[in-house]
Amino acid sequence: MSTPARRGRAQRAAAPVQHPGVNLHALLDAAGRFGPEYGEGLASHLPMGLVALRALGADSQRMQAFAWTESAHLLPAPPPQAWTAGDPWPDRLGDIAAWPAYVDLFGQWLAAEGAADVLAQVLPQLMPGCAAAAFHGPIRTAAALRAGHAGELAAGLAYWAVRHQRLGALPAQAGTVADPLVLLRRLQAVPSTRPLIAQGMADAASHPALRAAVPRLAIGPDTLAQLSRLAAQAYAGSGNFTALHMVTASHAMRLLLPFVEAGPAADAALRWFWQAWATALVAACLQPLPPLPLLPWPTIVQRALASADAHVIKLVDACRAEEAAHGGSSWQQAASRAVTPG
């Protein structure tokens, strides 16, 4: 069970963004009719995009239009499936066919115990697989948390569970290098011929230099902020699609971490996230692009609200929130890159 202090921090971190006149919960209810993926293993961005749009100030008409167009390519949700009573909940991690059963399990669990206590119990076991579907497991979970929608939170946790992706073991103790950039400078890109980000990360995970570097990072109070800033800089300098997911994943991690008990459990969660983050960077094979002018935030938000790309909407939302949390222009530069044509 969560302590009162942690529950208070978690509730403050996850306070739902508000926008009068936008019935986000009704739209998320409707989004529940669709499955978690489409095509060849691509994650549905409908619920995450709706939450980001509301945070950016979209009106009802814009959100309804987004829901209409984004749902056009989605598949119907599979038939409901009850979780077998008595089965340990981690037993089907990584089994995409178990998604409806996990939705049932987490839905009942959340109704019985509430979001804070459920997250406190499941996050330590989900974090070793936080790479799930190019980080979309934690990203969708964090978006649902912001929305305060129990059904969508169950769906997000279920997606994280069924796409749980471990990238290798970590030693019991963290290292002594405080600056992740020191370790990253020693790594080389590891290209993959496979199309999905998660597949490229799986290919890069066994690279000897990466496996030697990851355990050396010392987890500290600034680790997550450092990773978020470096991810923003990586995307601002390259426009790389994998780097985009590293930005939104860092934002998600900041929202979820308060639900993990402070101390060794939180440090372990950050170590797993760092492993996935570093693996994604190696797999991204960044190529530098010429710098772009820094756009003002009102222009960035206006362009994001008009964008048909859910990834752009999510990135701009995450960047604005991360800048508010940490300060500095790195996230504004990343958001400028996202909304600039070409």
Q: Mean pLDDT over all residues of the chain?
A: 94
Pick the closest to residue 284 from 163, 188, 186 (CA basis): 188
pLDDT digits (tens, 9 = 90+) for 96-155: 999 999 999 999 999 999 999 999 999 999 999 999 999 999 999 999 999 999 999 999
For the chain, domain boundaries: 4-162
* DSSP E strand stretches across the chain: 37-38, 42-43
Pick the closest to residue 111 from 154, 78, 143 (CA basis): 154
Can you tell me the distance from the alpha carbon of 3 to that of 1, in angstroms, rounded to the nearest whole number?
7
Neighbours of 77 (CB within 10 A): 17
pLDDT digits (tens, 9 = 90+) for 9-48: 444 344 444 444 569 999 999 999 999 999 999 999 999 9
pLDDT digits (tens, 9 = 90+) for 219-246: 999 999 999 999 999 999 999 999 999 9
Can you tell me the distance from the alpha carbon of 243 to that of 222, in angstroms, rounded to the nearest whole number?
20
pLDDT at 7: 41
pLDDT digits (tens, 9 = 90+) for 167-198: 999 998 889 999 999 999 989 999 999 999 99
Name residue 177's beta-bridge partners: 217
Judge if pTM exceeds 0.85.
Answer: yes
Percent of the chain with pLDDT over 70: 94
Two structure tokens written together for 320: 């604005």
pLDDT digits (tens, 9 = 90+) for 261-275: 999 999 999 999 999
pLDDT at 21: 56
